[in-house]
């Protein structure tokens, strides 16, 4: 998600996070869920992330649903 500067800036702007708080919260379920939610809301980003991670888009959405349940 952060490989694109535009996408990273959009994510940080939408979540209100800054790079330091994002790094500090990487192990936090809500931070992880926010990243997955961000990707799920923009299909091209979701597909690119899934390809980069060698998973399906559906698996990323399922992970987000698990984290927010």
Tens-digit pLDDT profile for residues 17-67: 998 999 999 889 999 999 999 999 999 999 999 999 999 999 999 999 999
Instruction: Give 69's pLDDT tier (boundaries 50, 70, 90).
Output: confident
- Whether 14 contacts 37, CB under 8 Å: no
Q: Higher confidence at residue 7 or residue 3?
A: 7
Structure tokens at 43: 């299909």
Question: CB-based burial of residue 69 (10 Å sphere; 0-12 exposed, 13-18 middle, 19+ buried)?
Answer: exposed
Strand ranges in 1-69 using DSSP code E only, listed in sequence order: none
């Amino acid at each position: 998600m952060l490989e694109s500067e535009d996408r990273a800036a959009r994510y940080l702007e939408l979540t209100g996070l800054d790079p330091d708080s994002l790094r500090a919260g990487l192990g936090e379920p809500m931070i992880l869920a926010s990243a997955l939610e961000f990707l799920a809301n923009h299909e091209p980003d979701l597909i690119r992330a899934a390809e980069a991670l060698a998973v399906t888009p559906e698996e990323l959405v399922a992970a987000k649903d698990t984290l927010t349940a």
